[in-house]
Amino acid sequence: MAGTEEKKKEDDVDTGTADEEEGNSKDEECAATEHRDKFNPTAYLNSFYKTASEDTAMQIVLFFLPGILYRLPQKVRTVLDLGAGPTVYLPIALRERAENIYTSDYAPANRDALVSWIENRSTFDWDNVCSWISNIEASMKTGKQMQEKTRSLMRAVLDVNVHESPVVQSVVWKSNQTTENIPGKFEVVSTVFCLEYSCETLDGYFRAVRSACSLIEDGGFLIQGGVLDATTYNFGGKTFRCHRLKQAHILESLKANGMATTAEKGYKFITHDDIFFDRTLKNGQKTGNSRIRRYFFPNLALYAERNENIIVSTPDKANAVAAYIFGSCEKLPEESEILDIIFPDNANPETILTGIDVCLALGGDFLSHFKRLEERLKLLKHSLRGLRRFTIE
């Protein structure tokens, strides 16, 4: 029960064609609870994941995801993808950080799809999604290599229900390499397009968040993604109802469960076209700048190394750009100041790609600079041997 769902707002104006209107009128309307029996993994994957360039939400998810993951520790002992549906893009994106990955879902058909992929029996081709991820990472790995690495890290597929206790109902599949019991809590819990789609009320959403947070170690991380203001999503002839999520709901639910909701305590929120990602810490513990320092170019890394206490404790006295990039300050520096630092006039391809990482961390209005970056990379294509170009359609 996760993915890049097509959102529909209550106040949307229908601009579809007559054929689309006729097709939509035939959709079977389903309650959120009917995901267990009526969710079709094949139709879902073909609708949203077959080619990333055909779904705007998928593009936004893959665009923001690396910037959120960069804010995790360099190595993560345990990760749970909570409510993964039949998807595996989060484990793939985490393959270089995670040591042990667990995935899960509420619907039996989705859990079967996850086991099928782990055992290399899946008929769905994830190469297009892998290509997007590798381009953003500037990686030379093929889709096959990325998936093989990820499969080697998968430890279990779990039956979960965020509206019951315990959340983890049973173990559906377990790796031969897993000799220990399934963890009761995880260092990182990721849940994308899941919690608000598991229910139709605010109380249900609060309950789902509480369940997700109960699975996180003290000092651990929650990565959450979804759609604001959506009331339904549809695919394969079915329309599923969901809770109409507001940003205020997210913050209220996180506060109620001991999660950080301010930048100085480790909270980061990114949104574009109502698609959002956030990353937060349990018990509001501060992250060490050394964890993300390596992903930015040397001058910022050097500044952070020499001024870490200032950045963390008194960000108002730190360099404005450094404080914002390292998540200690929510106030956006002057745009010209930021652009001069991350995209200097004499930037080589490697510097431009590093600047892309910075834009991912900043999010928001900085998306508009990617077309300009694309043109600069094209002009420098003679120097791009051994590098994968970043592109955004």
Q: Which tops the pLDDT comparison, 74 or 240?
A: 240
pTM above 0.85, yes or no: no
| 373 pLDDT above the threshold of 90 | no
pLDDT band at 117 (very low <50, low <70, confident <90, very high): very high
From CA 223, how far away is CA 212, in angstroms rounded? 10
**Cβ–Cβ under 8 Å, residues 93 and 177:** no
- Chain mean pLDDT for the chain: 80
Buried residues in 30-69 as b, exposed as e (16+ CB within 10 A): bebbebeeebbbeebbebbbbebeebebbbbbbbbbbbbb
Mean pLDDT of 253-281: 91
3-state secondary structure (DSSP) of residue 39: coil
- How far is the CA of 44 from the CAs of 51, 84, 150, 160, 166, in angstroms? 12, 12, 22, 20, 28
The topology (CATH level 3) of 18-281 is Rossmann fold (3.40.50)
Domain boundaries, the chain: 18-281, 290-383
Assess contact for 161 and 83: CB atoms under 8 A. no
């969710």: which residue's tokens?
Answer: 39
Q: How confident is the model at residue 67 (pLDDT cuts 50, 70, 90)?
A: confident
CA 355/CA 364 separation, integer angstroms? 15
CA distances from 68 to 90, 143, 295 (A): 11, 21, 12
Cα separation of 329 and 265, whole Å?
10
Q: Is the dihedral of CA 354, 357, 362, 368 positive or negative?
A: positive
Half-sphere exposure of 231 (CA within 13 A, CB side): 6
> 49, 75, 78, 77: which is closest to 62 by C-alpha?
49
For 121-146, how does the pLDDT look when each residue is reduced to its tens digit (9 = 90+)?
A: 999 999 989 988 888 787 889 999 99
Residues in the chain, overall count: 393
pLDDT for position 16: 35
> Which pLDDT does position 301 carry in this prediction?
65
Sheet containing 154-160, strands listed edge to edge, beginning at the edge strand earlier in sequence: 168-174, 154-160, 98-105, 76-81, 186-192, 216-227, 275-281, 268-272
The reported pLDDT for the residue numbered 315 is: 80
What is the helix (H) or strand (E) element at residue 159, kind and residue range? strand 154-160
* Measured CA angle at 310 (ends 306, 316), to 5 deg: 135
Task: Name the most confidently modeled range: 20-29, 255-264, 373-382.
Answer: 255-264
Cα(first)–Cα(last) distance of the chain, in Å?
27
